[in-house]
Amino acid sequence: MFTLGRLIRSTSTSNIIAKRPLRLQRVSFVRPFTHIPYSSMATSKINKWVDENQSHLIDRLAKAVGIPSVSGNIAYIKDVERMAEFLIEQLTELGVKAETRPVGKHQLDGKEVDLPPVVIGHIGNDPNKKTLLIYGHYDVQPALKEDGWKFDPFTLTVDPEGSGKLYGRGSTDDKGPVLGWLNALEAHKETGTELPVNLKMIFEGMEENGSDGLDKFIESEKDKFFAGVDCMCISDNYWLDTKTPCLTYGLRGINYYEIRISGPDRDLHSGAFGGAIHEPMTDLISLMSKLVSPQGEILIPGVKDLIAPVTKDEQEKFEAIHFEMKDIHDAIGGDVTLTNDTVKTLMGRMRNPSLSLHGIEGAFSAVGSKTVIPCSVKGKFSIRLVPNLGIKNTTDLVIKYVNDEFMKLGSKNKCQVVLTHGGEPWITDPNHYSFRAAHKATETVWGQAPDYTREGGSIPITLEFANILGVNICLLPVGRGDDGAHSTNEKLDTSNYIQGTKLFAEYMHNLAAEQA
């Protein structure tokens, strides 16, 4: 299934770039930047080496994808450990002082087992260089061929139609980006190029299952392994579309709630008791209908008042994003957006809070008709959090509002509002020197300036690193918006994998140039 001949003939990086319809009229080449000579000479050699060794780099990804490191299933526990060992071997060969560290135990499928170890490594300790910390994860989501995959999900498969897409679980989330850093290291080693920064790295094996234990590890190593870190880079997100590279400087957080309504001590027959009792489902539907309007407005008093006003810099960044309404219409399979204004749509996805209703537990949902009155039900909803809307102050508003509205119903049932889990929002300074370095690297490698985006979803560990280490974190994605992370037929385009390797190398050299 994994054949390189077709790939090299039909999907070389130069051919892909030449054929892709980049919107060149939007690309500006009139803002040149100047590397220090050392950097420009070095990255030229590195890029040449990367182009000449594509098959070798893709083979590395094939080996990684071939290890089914599913962290959420005890049947794959040895494979997760094997993936950590694979990284240790690869890093050691590249001159990195690497090791695994335990991070505790957890319950998995009813058994207490060791958490997957973190892989840490460092190379370089020059006090005159910046120290960059990189993060990634080596575990993946579950995947079975019968789920609807075109190919075996744990065999890296080059699209036989010649598109250059590399199909396989973990190809884009997150093994491809992790190996992009290893590729960049190898390029430096093989070309005899001095690494322009000191590099520290941490790769975890539990990201797809909650990152259990990692926050405690970061805290315990704050003044040890992580000492001296100047800035951090994470590549675990994606472009907004399929054409425009981006840098990400913010993530929405999340609060997940349940409204629990209980009444009689057993399910009842509606023919015998309908019209005689307060029905839990009726109360729940009434309450959930008062949380959010059909236009997406959060109806909980006080939430809107907490949202930070849009700054001029923010407005300009959103207006500059290369985004068309067709992009989102294609992504969702139709035109059901709240507005056709691109900036309002982007802010709705990235900057502003949202409230979504997710489901009702305890209600009859099977095929057919059943005249049951459920004795207790749970309504599930979440609020995506933004700066100023934190876990606690949002929860205080939610609990008060739902309880007040329940009292208005005059019901004899019982109501409880529960926060089941939460993650704070994160935002950083996009004008930091790390972002400047990433911006220049993107212009050099992709031939266009990046969009500046904020993610609508959450990467909770980002906030842990930011809060504990106090460093600026640049989210520098490799994959495209259609890569299908967590989905069937997950893929990474060959061009993004190869150019992503160059991007990381260029970024590191730009960090050195910023220092100079």
* Residue 69 to residue 73: CA distance in whole angstroms: 9
Q: Which residues are annotated as a binding site?
A: 137, 173, 208, 236, 269, 371, 384, 458, 486
How confident is the model over 156-183, as a mean pLDDT?
98
- The yes-or-no answer on residue 126 being catalytic is no
> What percent of the chain clears pLDDT 90, i.e. is strictly above it?
86
Q: Could you say which architecture CATH assigns to the domain 4-16+38-251+425-515?
A: 3-Layer(aba) Sandwich (3.40)
The letter for the amino acid at 76 is Y
Q: Could you identify the residue written with the tokens 């259609």?
A: 482
How confident is the model over 464-474, as a mean pLDDT?
96
Q: Mean pLDDT score of the chain, rounded to an integer?
A: 91
How does pLDDT run across 62-83, given as a tens digit for each residue? 999 999 999 999 999 999 999 9
How does pLDDT run across 299-318, given as a tens digit for each residue? 999 999 999 999 999 999 99
- Contact call for residues 426 and 250 (beta carbons, < 8 A): yes
Dihedral-angle region of residue 82 (phi above 0 means left; psi in -120 to 50 means alpha; beta otherwise): alpha
Strand partners, 53: none
Dihedral-angle region of residue 435 (phi above 0 means left; psi in -120 to 50 means alpha; beta otherwise): alpha
Q: Which pLDDT value is given to residue 29?
A: 26
Distance of CA 23 to the CA centre of its chain: 26
Q: Which residues are annotated as a binding site for Mn(2+)?
A: 137, 173, 208, 236, 486
How does pLDDT run across 403-451, given as a tens digit for each residue? 999 999 999 999 999 999 998 999 999 999 999 999 999 999 999 999 9
Q: Which pLDDT value is given to residue 516?
A: 61
Task: Please count the CA atoms within 13 angstroms of the CA of 380 that sit on its side-chain side.
Answer: 9
* Residue 96 to residue 98: CA distance in whole angstroms: 6
How does pLDDT run across 360-407, given as a tens digit for each residue? 999 988 899 999 999 999 999 999 999 999 999 999 999 999 999 999
Catalytic pick among 79, 139, 241, 506: 139
At residue 507, the 3 state secondary structure works out as: helix
Q: Where are the beta strands (DSSP E) in 424-471?
A: 426-427, 451-455
Q: Could you identify the residue written with the tokens 């780099």?
A: 57
The CATH number of 253-307+352-423 is which of 1.25.60.10, 3.30.2270.10, 3.30.70.360, 1.10.540.10?
Answer: 3.30.70.360
The letter for the amino acid at 295 is Q
CB neighbourhood size of 409 (10 A): 15
Write out the two tokens for 252.
Answer: 């929405």
Cis, bond preceding 174 (omega within 30 deg of 0): yes
pTM: 0.85
Q: Which pLDDT value is given to residue 17?
A: 30
Distances (CA, A) of 152 to 27, 107, 147, 162, 288: 39, 29, 10, 18, 42
Q: Which pLDDT value is given to residue 21?
A: 31
How does pLDDT run across 96-149, given as a tens digit for each residue? 999 999 999 999 989 999 999 999 999 999 999 999 999 999 999 999 999 999
CB neighbourhood size of 428 (10 A): 20
| Every domain of the chain and the residues it spans | 4-16+38-251+425-515, 253-307+352-423
Catalytic pick among 204, 207, 424, 493: 207
- The yes-or-no answer on residue 139 being catalytic is yes
